[in-house]
Structure 1
Amino acid sequence: MKKLFMRGLLVMAVVSVIAAIAFYSWAMATYGPSEELQQLVQLDEVAVVDDALVFEPGEAARNGIGVVLYPGAKVEGAAYSYYAQQLMNEGVTVIIPAMRLNFALFSPNVAADYVEQFAHIDRWVVGGHSLGGVAAAMYAAEHEVDGLLLLASYPSDGTNLREATFPVLSLSAEYDGLTTRADIDASKERLPKHAMFVEIAGGNHAQFGMYGAQKGDGAATISAVEQQEAIVTCTLEWLAQ
């Protein structure tokens, strides 16, 4: 009986190791920045601070607003560089942290590290794309923030922000096959009544970044840059309120 028990433990251990290796391999198969993005942004010139990409205007151009943006699952932070650069050009500091195993849910509190380091920022917004937005909402529920930005995302069932007083912007897309209109509508009960909801006409899920097509997504009827520009405009208008 003892030998049978030990053999069972060994089998379970082997299965666990194989499962962990398989998950690690899957998580490392990331969505990187598209060729189009690489033509628009000089990625090798982007500053890196503690593994985060930092888009910071010159001191004279800063408007005191900082955005910590959590990437979507398996999406490299560089895929959001065009969006970040456009916000930077308007005086906003944008920080895109690296996530453990490329999943923001494994690093939901990483924004706190940069809030401490960038003490000159007066107003902090935390946000994220898809699963990154789920983690950002978790962070906002437990920390002091000045805004929550959801890109094709929504709070999880366990995150209740109904009583939150900070501003919330939820951006969705008409042809998003992964975060649907039904998902966004259902999330409204977990967000404050003053939350703003904007749908990008013709957009899809993957074009909230610039990393190419994503399995299960709908087909956009606008270009990636057009969707990015719409997202930038909505974000800046919201931040200016």
Structure 2
Amino acid sequence: MEKNRKSNWIRKILIGLALLIVIAAGAFFWYVNDYYQATADAIEALQSDGSITITETEDAITFAPNGENPEEGIIFYPGGKVEAEAYAPLLRSLAEADLLVVVAKMPFHLAVFDANAAETIMEQEDSVQDWYLAGHSLGGVMASSFAADQADEVAGLIFLASYPSGDLTAAPFPVLSLYGSEDEVLNRESYDEAQRKLPADYTEIELVGGNHAQFGDYGMQAGDGTASISAEQQQQQSVEAITTFIGNNRQQ
């Protein structure tokens, strides 16, 4: 009798654990499948033309300027739960400035699952001499993690509405931080605290009228502020800031 009671107790525990695993798995897949998708404008920007050739694999999308062999490139990490295609307009504009630009497609649209995606891209695009790591929101946090671990492979780090995960005060590369004045997704307290982790000479630029989502093209993000400039304007200002940042670093 006692042996049967013990067996029943163990069986109930195992059934309970199995149910918890099923519930947790279901909740996870529901969470990761509820993500921000690229707008029609972003999809249109993925078309190759006379100036830019766009190639796509399971792991990345590459924007390459035609007739050029860029020695400088940008590897971009998307924001959390945002598909890579949503950043096509911004990244295409950067490629038009004679930069090789590659956006990593993250597992489950979350950069935390592949913080080292840049390593594979660097190996595949070995003609590039100077790589800049860039990321939006969560993507920027994870890009900074790679940059910190592989500092000798990184020419610079670019944050879009983001901040570092670790101490970069002694980083050998320059850092640029962009954010929109109307961004209400970015945790400003965490952002301000994280600035102490950056090199003393880092560059910070506030995009007046910009918000969190308009670095990409995926529609309004939950909890974000209302921008007073268009996504096109915010992205153009970002491109100008990024290309100036890279140009200044090139001259040093």
Q: Which bin holds the TM-score, normalised by the shorter protein?
A: over 0.9
Tell me the amino acid that sits aligned with residue 156 of structure 2.
Answer: G
2:27 corresponds to which of 12, 22, 27: 22
Tell me, yes or no, if structure 1 residue 53 matches structure 2 residue 70: no
Instruction: Please show how residues 1-241 of structure 1 align to structure 2 within 5 Å.
Output: 1-42=6-47, 46-58=54-66, 60-143=67-150, 144=152, 145-156=154-165, 159-241=166-248
User: Deviations for 1:87-141, whole angstroms, at most 9, x for unmatched residues?
Assistant: 1111101111111111101100010001011110010111110000111011011
- How far residue 194 of structure 1 moved from its aligned partner, in angstroms, is 1.5
The answer to whether the Cα contact below 8 Å between 2:178 and 2:205 also exists between their aligned partners in 1 is yes
Number of residue pairs aligned between Structure 1 and Structure 2 = 238
Deviation at 1:41, TM superposition (A): 4.7
Shift of residue 205, structure 1, vs aligned partner: 0.4
Distance 2:45 2:128 in 1: 27
Residues 1:43 and 1:20: Cα distance change in structure 2 (over 3 Å): farther
TM-score by length of 1: 0.93
Q: Secondary structure at the match of 2:167?
A: coil
My pick for the range that moved more, 141-150 or 8-17, is: 8-17
Any stretches of 5+ residues in structure 1 without a counterpart? none
Q: Say if 1:216 and 1:43 are closer, same or farther in 2 by CA, change over 3 A.
A: farther
Higher deviation after alignment, 8-17 or 92-101: 8-17
- 3-state SS of paired residue (2:32): helix
CA distance in 2, matches of 1:86, 1:33: 16
Kindly, what percent of the aligned residue pairs are identical?
Answer: 37
Contact 2:45-2:88 at 8 Å conserved across structures:
no
Q: Secondary structure at the match of 2:65?
A: coil
Report the Cα distance in structure 1 between the residues aligned to 2:144 and 2:76, rounded to whole angstroms. Answer: 11
Give, as a single letter, the amino acid of the residue that structure 2 aligns with 1:224. Answer: A
In the TM superposition, residue 208 of structure 1 has moved relative to its aligned partner by 1.1
The AA in structure 2 aligned to 1:240 is: G
The structure with the larger Rg is 2
Contact kept in structure 2, 1:43 and 1:78, CA below 8 Å:
no
Question: SS of 1:170's equivalent?
Answer: strand
Q: Tell me the secondary structure at the aligned position of residue 96 of structure 1.
A: strand
Once residues 192 and 212 of structure 1 are traced to their aligned partners in structure 2, the CA distance between those partners, rounded to angstroms, is 33
Larger displacement relative to structure 2 (29-38 or 130-139): 29-38
CA pair 213-148 structure 1, distance change in 2 beyond 3 A: same
> SS in structure 1 opposite 2:199?
coil
**Aligned partner of 1:25: which letter?**
W
Point out the more displaced range, 136-145 or 10-19: 10-19
Q: What is the deviation of 1:43?
A: 7.6
Which runs of no fewer than 5 residues in structure 2 stay unpaired? Answer: 1-5
Amino acid aligned to 2:93? Q
